Structure 1
Amino acid sequence: MEVLFDAPELLILVFQSFDRVDDALSLASTCQFLASIWRTHTSAILCPLIETKTPGFNQALIAVRITDLVFTAFETNHLPPLPPPPHTLSVHARKPNIAELKHLLDLRHLARCVEHMYRRGTHADQMHESEEPTWLPTAERAHMSARFQCAVYRVLVAGAVLTREYLEPLFMAREGHGPEGLLRRLQEVGVRWEGVIGGDCEFLERFAVYDLEGGRERWEGAFGELAGWLVEDMEGTFIQVEPPYRGLDAEQLGRLQEVTFFLAAYEHVKDKLFYKYAPQAEGDEDEEIPLPPPLLGGVRKAQVAMFGIFCPEVVWMPERVEDVTSCYLVNKRLAVDGERMSPGGQALDCQGPSPWEVDVPCVLEILHTRSGRLNHRDGHPSPPPALRFVEYVLGEFFKVRFKATWLFDLYSVYSLHDYTLGFLQNLRLFGDRSIMTGTWLFTEDKAPSLSYRPLYG
Structure 2
Amino acid sequence: MAALEPPRTGGFMARSGPVETVLRILQCCHSTRDLLALVSTCRHICNVWRGNVAAVLWPVWLREIPHFEDALHAARMTELVVQAERRGELPPTRITPDLLQRQQPTLSELRAAFGLYRLSRTIAACLYSQDLTYPDDRPGGDFGRGPPPEDPARMPEWTARVSHAVFRLLIVGAALAGAYKEPLFKALEHPDPEIRALPQRVPQVAAQNTWEHKLGHKEMAFLLQFAVCDLDATLEAQDAAFGSIADWLLESILSDTESRQAMADRFEQRYGRSTFYI
Which of the residues 152, 155, 163 maps onto 1:141? 155
Higher relative contact order (CA 8 A, sep 6+): 1
Q: State the number of aligned residues.
A: 223
| Structure 2 residue aligned with 1:97 | 106
1:368-398 Cα deviation digits (max 9, x unpaired): xxxxxxxxxxxxxxxxxxxxxxxxxxxxxxx
CA–CA distance in 2 between the matches of 1:175 and 1:434? 56
The 5-angstrom pairing of residues 407-446 of structure 1 reads none
CA–CA distance in 2 between the matches of 1:35 and 1:73? 38
| Structure 1 residue aligned with 2:73 | 62
| Structure 1 residue aligned with 2:60 | 49
**How far apart are residue 217 of structure 1 and its match?**
3.4
CA–CA distance in 2 between the matches of 1:142 and 1:433? 20
- TM-score under structure 1 normalisation? 0.43
**How far apart are residue 31 of structure 1 and its match?**
5.1
CA–CA distance in 2 between the matches of 1:215 and 1:432? 38
CA–CA distance in 2 between the matches of 1:97 and 1:134? 38
| Structure 2 residue aligned with 1:194 | 212
**How far apart are residue 233 of structure 1 and its match?**
0.8
**How far apart are residue 37 of structure 1 and its match?**
2.1
Q: Which amino acid aligns with 2:260?
A: I
The verdict on how the C-alpha distance between 1:140 and 1:46 changes in structure 2, with shifts beyond 3 A counting, is: same
SS at match of 1:162: helix
Structure 1 stretch displaced more, 55-64 or 180-189: 180-189
SS at match of 2:45: helix
SS at match of 1:163: helix
1:33-82 Cα deviation digits (max 9, x unpaired): 43442333111111122222321212211111110000101111111134
Q: Is residue 63–residue 156 contact of structure 1 (8 Å, CA) maintained in 2?
A: yes
CA–CA distance in 1 between the matches of 2:64 and 2:211? 47
- TM-score under structure 2 normalisation? 0.68
SS at match of 2:200: helix
| Structure 2 residue aligned with 1:7 | none
Q: Which amino acid aligns with 2:98?
A: H
Q: Which amino acid aligns with 1:239?
A: R
**What are the ranges of 5 or more consecutive residues in structure 2 without an aligned counterpart?**
1-10, 18-40, 134-140
The verdict on how the C-alpha distance between 1:134 and 1:152 changes in structure 2, with shifts beyond 3 A counting, is: closer
Q: Is residue 43–residue 97 contact of structure 1 (8 Å, CA) maintained in 2?
A: yes
SS at match of 2:231: coil
SS at match of 1:239: helix
Structure with the larger strand share = 1
The verdict on how the C-alpha distance between 1:38 and 1:228 changes in structure 2, with shifts beyond 3 A counting, is: same
Which of the residues 66, 90, 98 maps onto 1:87? 98
**How far apart are residue 145 of structure 1 and its match?**
2.0
The 5-angstrom pairing of residues 182-331 of structure 1 reads 182-189=198-205, 190-191=207-208, 194-195=212-213, 196-237=215-256, 238-240=259-261
The answer on 1:106 being equivalent to 2:115 is yes
**What are the ranges of 5 or more consecutive residues in structure 1 without an aligned counterpart?**
1-22, 244-249, 251-427, 439-457
SS at match of 2:260: coil
Bigger radius of gyration among the two: 2
Q: Is residue 69–residue 80 contact of structure 1 (8 Å, CA) maintained in 2?
A: yes
Q: Give the aligned CA root-mean-square deviation in angstroms.
A: 3.4
The verdict on how the C-alpha distance between 1:434 and 1:128 changes in structure 2, with shifts beyond 3 A counting, is: same
The verdict on how the C-alpha distance between 1:182 and 1:134 changes in structure 2, with shifts beyond 3 A counting, is: closer
CA–CA distance in 2 between the matches of 1:132 and 1:46? 39
Which of the residues 166, 171, 182 maps onto 1:157? 171
CA–CA distance in 1 between the matches of 2:191 and 2:159? 47
